[in-house]
Amino acid sequence: MELGVNIDHVATLRNARGGDEPDVLDAAIIAQRAGASAITIHLREDRRHIKDSDLDLIKKNIKTNINLEMAATGEMQQIAIANRPYSCCIVPEKRQEVTTEGGLDVHGQEEYIRDFIKPLHQAGIVVSLFIDPDEKQIFSAHKCNADFIELHTGAYANAFGTECEKEEFEKLKTAAALAQNLGLKVNAGHGLNYQNVHRMHEIEGLIELNIGHSIISRAVFVGLEQAIEEMKDLII
């Protein structure tokens, strides 16, 4: 498996006080040097962490794949087409949430998502849909012509070490197998950390894990490069 490093919370820390520290581009450069397969950034509607200028600087200075997380809005579609990151991961977004709380409802808006994806594909952008491990969402993602799904691992992460862990983990395994049978490639992420990530090895065919908060938290104590290397050691 490969490791995509989400650097949103470097921007969160910067924005807490204003100014330029810590520098988001520096974080991307360190992640690239540490061997991240992708730099993931979520450009939210309210710009609470990553800013448009961050995307611009990273695009100009980073050779590693850029994975742009974004809502399915016209504004974000135009930003993606103008910047042409390697990939876009379409996520649900609510202003009041602290972080993404669940997967995208593709099943409930198939026609809209399918039409939303078309211009991204025409711009040469790989498209992933961030969804819960739910059969109907996977079938809908396939119908919408997504290249990837990213399985929302939050329920598993919350259940880790409890009696519900097995049930939530089996949902991920089943979902990954179904998606792959339909021809979808599968990534995973949300809530994964140094304690629970090892079980991702039990899911056949996972391509990339996108991890942010846990890595940035660890980096406070050991530095970003070491934190990334430690996570990579756990997933290789």
Report pLDDT for 236. Answer: 83
- Name the residue with tokens 């025409």: 122
Contacts of 114 (CB under 8 A, 6+ apart): 143, 144, 145
Q: Give the whole-angstrom CA distance, residue 167 versus residue 32.
A: 35
Tokens of 45: 């509607």
Q: Give the whole-angstrom CA distance, residue 21 versus residue 16.
A: 10
Catalytic one among 49, 107, 152, 190?
190
| Spans of the chain, pLDDT less than 70 | 94-101
Report pLDDT for 99. Answer: 52
Catalytic one among 69, 150, 168, 208?
69
Report pLDDT for 28. Answer: 98
Looking at the structure of the chain, the number of domains it has is 1
Give the domain range for residue 14.
Answer: 2-235
Q: Give bridge partners of residue 67 from the DSSP assignment.
A: 40, 87
Our answer to whether residue 190 is catalytic in this structure is yes
Q: Give the whole-angstrom CA distance, residue 9 versus residue 32.
A: 17
Our answer to whether residue 121 is catalytic in this structure is no
Catalytic one among 9, 42, 49, 107?
42
Query: What CATH number corresponds to the domain at position 164?
Result: 3.20.20.70
- Name the residue with tokens 């899911």: 203
Q: Give the whole-angstrom CA distance, residue 67 versus residue 88.
A: 6
Burial letters for 97-113: b for 16+ Cβ neighbours within 10 Å, e otherwise?
eeebebbbbbbeeeeeb
Report pLDDT for 98. Answer: 47
